[in-house]
């Protein structure tokens, strides 16, 4: 769903009105640079649970419909319907989000602007997260069907004492762990799990089975042909591939495909349906 011309005009005013959205993104963890800083300051952790995620923004104006912006496609904003208490919205809200298009998930991770007040550069993360919770508790009501089947979730926060639990989630799903500093002057740190070499990830396309994910149209898990070992989520990048899978699915036959690892998407991309 595309924004209206007045909404496009409003979106273009956001960077000048709220320059906090232009803050540099997360840095990848390097022990020689970050370990001492982590030990000397207060950090919490949250999980970006799947590969192939995209960072972005969720914009909500006093009069405007909610807008999602994928930071890799800033010229293509999209409207996402949300059930909101409009009487409680007195100014713009802006949230830092991660998009999982294959899984149909929007994860809200930080509050940049709260009711018209820019807060990411001035308040601690504890204070910003409290504003995020205020928004979810009093202004927004989850309704997946109304949200065009997008599941909107708030990032679950872990203390560093329990960070092993969060890390185990990323190992199971191929995502990454994020360390959020409480001080606004420090940057978010992204910690990717250490991967063992995987011969499935390289070379020419291999043959796999696509298994539809219940309740998720056009979402498939990828499994090996002989022992049905889980490989991960299949990435469907073209309309032609999507339509071919749907047609094959209608026949009731196994969905045999060719897929190959794509480092840019950090996932297996289906290249053809057999």
Q: What is the 3-state secondary structure (H, E, C) of the chain?
A: CCCCHHHHHHHHHHHHHCHHHHCCCCEECCHHHHHHHHHHCCEEEEEEEECCCEEEEEEECCCCCCEEEECCCCCCCEECCCEECHHHCCCCEEEEEEEECCCCEEEEEEEEEECCEECCCCCCHHHHHHHHHHHHHHCEECCCCCCCCCEEEECCCEEHHHHHHHHHHHHHHEEEEEEEECCCCCCCEEECCCCCCCHHHCCCCEEEEEEECCCCCCCEEEEECCCCCEEEEEECCCHHHHHHHHHHHHCCCCEEEEEEEECCCCEEEEEEEC
Of 145, 168, 191, the domain-final residue: 191
**Domain assignment present for 257:** yes
Q: Look at residue 129 and tell me whether its pLDDT is greater than 90.
A: yes
Q: Are residues 85 and 29 in the same domain?
A: yes
Tell which wins on pLDDT, 64 or 225: 64
pLDDT of residue 248: 86
**CATH number of the domain encompassing residue 264:** 2.40.50
Q: Which of 191, 224, 257 lies at the terminal end of a domain, its last residue?
A: 191
Same domain, 238 and 120: no
Counted domains in the chain: 2
Q: Is the pLDDT of residue 172 over 50?
A: no
Do residue 178 and residue 267 come from a single domain?
Answer: no
Across the range 47-73, mean pLDDT stands at 91
Domain-located, residue 199: no
Q: Is the pLDDT of residue 204 over 70?
A: no
The verdict on 105 and 170 lying in the same domain is yes
Considering only residues 250 and 152, tell me which one the structure prediction assigns the higher pLDDT.
152
Are 152 and 249 found together in one domain?
no
Residues 22 and 66 in one domain: yes
- Average pLDDT of the residues of the chain: 86
In a domain, 197, yes or no: no
Range(s) of the domain holding residue 262: 204-273
Question: Within a domain: residue 198?
Answer: no
Q: Is residue 87 in some structural domain?
A: yes
Do 212 and 168 lie in one domain? The reply is no
Position 120 in a domain: yes
Please tell me whether residues 245 and 128 are part of one structural domain: no
pLDDT tier at 242, thresholds 50, 70, 90: confident
Mean pLDDT over 209-217 rounds to: 77
Whether 196 maps to a domain, the answer reads no
Q: Quick one: what percent of the chain has pLDDT higher than 70?
A: 88
> What is the pTM for the complete model shown?
0.70
pLDDT grade for 82, boundaries at 50, 70 and 90:
very high
Is the pLDDT at 220 greater than 90, yes or no? no
User: Quick one: 169 and 140 in the same domain?
Assistant: yes
Which residue, of 163, 191, 219, is where some domain finishes? 191
């Amino acid at each position: 769903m595309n924004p209206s011309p007045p909404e496009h005009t409003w979106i273009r005013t956001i960077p000048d009105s709220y320059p906090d959205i232009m803050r540099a993104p997360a840095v990848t963890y390097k022990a020689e640079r970050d370990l001492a800083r982590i030990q000397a300051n207060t950090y919490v952790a949250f999980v970006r649970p799947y590969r192939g995620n995209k960072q972005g923004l969720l914009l909500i104006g006093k009069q405007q419909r909610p807008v999602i912006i994928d930071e890799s496609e800033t010229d293509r904003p999209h409207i996402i319907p949300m059930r909101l208490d409009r009487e409680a919205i007195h100014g713009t809200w802006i949230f830092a989000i991660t998009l999982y298009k294959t899984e149909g998930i929007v994860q809200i991770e930080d509050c940049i602007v709260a009711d018209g007040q820019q807060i990411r550069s001035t308040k601690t993360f504890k204070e910003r997260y409290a504003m995020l919770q205020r928004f979810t508790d009093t202004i927004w009501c989850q309704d997946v069907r109304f949200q065009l089947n997008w599941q909107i979730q708030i990032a679950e926060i872990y203390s560093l004492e329990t960070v092993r639990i969060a890390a185990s989630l990323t190992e199971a799903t191929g995502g990454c762990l994020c360390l959020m500093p409480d001080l606004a002057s420090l940057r978010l740190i992204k910690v990717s799990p250490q991967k063992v070499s995987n011969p499935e990830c390289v070379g020419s396309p291999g043959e796999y089975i696509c298994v539809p994910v219940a309740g998720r149209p056009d979402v498939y898990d990828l499994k090996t042909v002989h022992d049905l070992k889980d490989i991960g989520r299949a990435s469907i990048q073209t309309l032609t591939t999507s339509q071919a899978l749907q047609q094959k699915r209608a026949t009731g036959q196994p969905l045999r495909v060719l897929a190959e690892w794509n480092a840019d998407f950090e996932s297996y991309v289906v290249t053809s349906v057999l």
